[in-house]
Amino acid sequence: MKEAVIAIGDSLGVVMGEKKESEKLVWVLMFGAVCSEGEERELFVKGSREICRLVGLKRWVDVREILGRLLWKAGLDGAGKGVWEEVMGGGNSK
């Protein structure tokens, strides 16, 4: 999955290791998960899990801050937190 996340990042012009660019990839994958269903959603959740692991995101509030800096409405918070709980596998996701 790591290779897939890097490939998505490459296709979007994202340079891994650069904070601003990595944050864009967090947004793409999280937003994709919110907007998708079934197998497609699973892929976005797995990608979100990998990018969050790679950049060290461990709390919803930190992810929400990134999402809010890009394109996000408060009305998406419930769905976004639901994705986050999937990303964290039901672990400590506050």
> Would you state the structure tokens that stand for residue 50, as one six-digit string?
């990998």
What pTM value is reported for the model?
0.77
Q: Which domain holds residue 26?
A: 2-87
Helices 19-34, 38-55: crossing angle, 10 deg rounding: 160
Domain membership of residue 64 (yes or no) is yes
Return the pLDDT at 91.
44
Domain membership of residue 35 (yes or no) is yes
Domain membership of residue 51 (yes or no) is yes
pLDDT digits (tens, 9 = 90+) for 6-46: 666 665 555 555 677 788 889 999 999 999 999 999 999 99
Count of domains in the chain? 1
Return the pLDDT at 53.
87
Residue 59 has pLDDT above 90, yes or no: yes
Domain membership of residue 27 (yes or no) is yes
Per DSSP, the residues of 58-84 read --HHHHHHHHHHSS--GGGHHHHHHHH
Return the pLDDT at 20.
73
Distance CA 33, CA 44 (A): 5
DSSP state of 75: G
